[in-house]
Structure 1
Amino acid sequence: MSHAPVASNTPKMPKDFHIFGSGISFSISPTIHNAGFRHYNLPYKYDIRESTTIDQVSNLIEEEKFGGGSVTMPHKLHVHKFCTEQTDIARLIGAINTLIVKGSGTERKIIGENTDWSGLHSIITAYAAKTNQQPKAGLVIGAGGASRAALYAMHRSGIERIYIVNRTLAVAEKVKADYQSIFQIDVVDNLKELPCLPDVIIGTVPADTTTEEQFSAIFGTRGLCIDMAYKPRHTPLLTAAQRHQEWRTVTGLEVLLAQAYDQFRLWTGLEPPVEKMEEAVFVHERETEKTRAGML
């Protein structure tokens, strides 16, 4: 019988964890990870370090106390220059969202990893297990950095027919070409020309660039709809999916949590206290709503 890892009795050295990005002042990642650190009584703290370029915060990565980091846009594509190495998957996807520290002193390494794909993969495989149905066709909306993780997650989940639709076809074609040696992606001109209705849909574009009407004809009998955007919480894509009773919807917040669980494992070697992390987010959201209501 296997047991979840537990915190070692060996005293831990204080470590600093950060999220790097631009426009992230309201990130809830500190709420998620600090709840996990508190659960295991780890002397770690996680905070927001906002900057326009990754170079502006490179000194934090080089500090001995640096324990690891989350990386969001626009730094996912540039942080590799401060990594000792990248995992094969991070290199394939072309984006790093997680920095892992191994060793110390002259043996210290900064490893670039991607947990965006693995968080999505866990959501898709959990859905397949719960419904006892293997999804056969998947659709990714958008062709930016997040789409690359979504496409790879679909491939690793065993989805055989994978479609991508994007406003600029040339960008989608580039993504297809980058993956063609690993798996096949079909570029679709627009949502009305899908060869078949998908079982899994992942939206990767900002919610404010879409309308509910755009997505009215892409839903079959049942399936899984994920939106990686989490502002607003209920996006036009998810609202359209919720009109279909047999469709399960997953918000961007749930995606954020799923990838954060993988980050926590990589940083600590411990199982994330999922309930504690979710509860911390719930309390944070409730307090934010109270503050917002008080301002009106």
Structure 2
Amino acid sequence: MSTPRNYHIFGHSISQSLSPTIHNAGFAHHGLPHHYDIQECADLNEVTTMIDSPDFGGCSITMPHKLSASKFCTSISASARTIGAINTLIATSENSTKTIIHGDNTDWSGLHSLITEYTAQTPSPPSSVGLVIGAGGAARAGVYAMIQAGVQSIYIGNRTYLKAEAVARDFESRVIPVAFPSRLPESPDLIIGTVPGESMGAEAFAGLFQKERGLCIEMSYKPRVTNLLVVAREHRGWVTADGLEVLLRQAFDQFRLWSGREPPQAVMRQAVMDVTERVQSKV
């Protein structure tokens, strides 16, 4: 029988996170004695005792701590090192006295799965031009996912141009920083939004959807339909993926890393659906 482990999500303003619903459903399905909970923290130093605890199994790391989690890691995956952001810690015991903490990033792999599924299902995919909106840790994962998917030209747009420039500098030369909102030199057919859902009005996205078809992925799931998705869905040739789908995709990869088992995707999806339906019925 598996040794009980504690898993957490560390972040700020995360009291409504759906991650416990997702992962606890997965643990229950496989009969694993683990537990996942929310731990609000303004600084990761506040949760050092939890990470050092013998029953620590791992954690999800969300805003604003993805860029500062490396200090807790014994090792870091190549992808997380390139991205410069960590959203997952995995604890393993080397012996009875020493715990190894491995840092990884599943934001990019969740996004990558959505991109590759779209291109596989699209006859003669267009010459790809990507736009990542934002310049934080999630945006870095978005850029990396596009690079791994072979996107030919990638723009990273942010209100503060210098922040977009700093992200572009850390990646390949085909990543181009731009001030956003603004008109891009070429129209994208792949868009990833990584900023809070209502931080920009719909007018900021109005000129993006010039191509007949494309894929728009939103990483924020509050509100469920963000301004970016509202505009994208006005264009019938565009496929969209909302923030809940992104959350699930990255969580599936986390579950594999923590448990060594395949995530029961249907069970985890249903658990999220049940919770969101209960919340909506109370509104």
Q: TM-score range by the shorter chain?
A: over 0.9
Q: Show the counterpart of 1:244.
A: 235
Q: Show the counterpart of 1:86.
A: 76
Q: Show the counterpart of 2:167.
A: 175
1:18 counterpart = 2:26: no
CA distance in 1, matches of 2:152, 2:17: 35
Give ranges in structure 2 of 5+ residues lacking alignment. none
1:35 counterpart = 2:38: no
Q: In the alignment, is the contact (CA less than 8 A) between 2:159 and 2:181 conserved in 1?
A: no
CA distance in 2, matches of 1:144, 1:66: 27
CA distance in 1, matches of 2:105, 2:123: 28
Deviation, 1:134, is 3.9
Deviations 1:189-212 (A, max 9, x none): 445432221111011111222111
Q: In the alignment, is the contact (CA less than 8 A) between 2:106 and 2:254 conserved in 1?
A: yes
Give ranges in structure 1 of 5+ residues lacking alignment. 1-10
1:60 counterpart = 2:50: yes
CA distance in 1, matches of 2:146, 2:31: 36
Name the amino acid aligned to 2:97: T
Deviation, 1:107, is 4.3
CA distance in 2, matches of 1:211, 1:57: 36
* Comparing 155-164 and 85-94, the one that deviates more: 85-94
Q: Show the counterpart of 1:144.
A: 136
Name the amino acid aligned to 2:148: R
TM (normalized to structure 1)? 0.91
CA distance in 2, matches of 1:201, 1:77: 23
CA distance in 2, matches of 1:99, 1:133: 39
Q: Show the counterpart of 1:73.
A: 63
Q: In the alignment, is the contact (CA less than 8 A) between 1:191 and 1:218 conserved in 2?
A: no
* Comparing 274-283 and 164-173, the one that deviates more: 164-173
Question: What SS class does the counterpart of residue 31 from structure 2 fall into?
Answer: coil
CA distance in 1, matches of 2:151, 2:227: 25
Deviation, 1:281, is 0.3
Deviation, 1:132, is 3.7
**CA separation of 1:131 and 1:56: change in aligned 2, threshold 3 A:** same
CA distance in 1, matches of 2:131, 2:48: 37
Q: In the alignment, is the contact (CA less than 8 A) between 1:140 and 1:203 conserved in 2?
A: yes
Deviations 1:36-77 (A, max 9, x none): 001100111111111111111111111111111101112212
Give the one of 200, 211, 214 matched to 2:190: 200
Q: Show the counterpart of 1:5.
A: none
Question: What SS class does the counterpart of residue 205 from structure 1 fall into?
Answer: coil
Deviations 1:147-200 (A, max 9, x none): 1110000000110111111111111111111113xx521123445432221111
Give the one of 199, 204, 223 matched to 2:214: 223
CA distance in 2, matches of 1:120, 1:166: 19
Question: What SS class does the counterpart of residue 76 from structure 1 fall into?
Answer: coil
Structure 1 residue ranges, 4+ long, deviating more than 3 angstroms after superposition: 132-135, 189-192
Q: In the alignment, is the contact (CA less than 8 A) between 1:102 and 1:108 conserved in 2?
A: yes
Deviations 1:219-252 (A, max 9, x none): 1100100111111110111000101111011111
Matched-pair identity in %:
52
Give the one of 112, 119, 122 matched to 2:113: 122
**CA separation of 1:190 and 1:83: change in aligned 2, threshold 3 A:** closer
Give the one of 154, 160, 166 matched to 2:152: 160
**CA separation of 1:143 and 1:133: change in aligned 2, threshold 3 A:** farther
Q: In the alignment, is the contact (CA less than 8 A) between 1:223 and 1:247 conserved in 2?
A: yes
CA distance in 2, matches of 1:163, 1:125: 19
Q: Show the counterpart of 2:256.
A: 265
* Comparing 243-252 and 190-199, the one that deviates more: 190-199
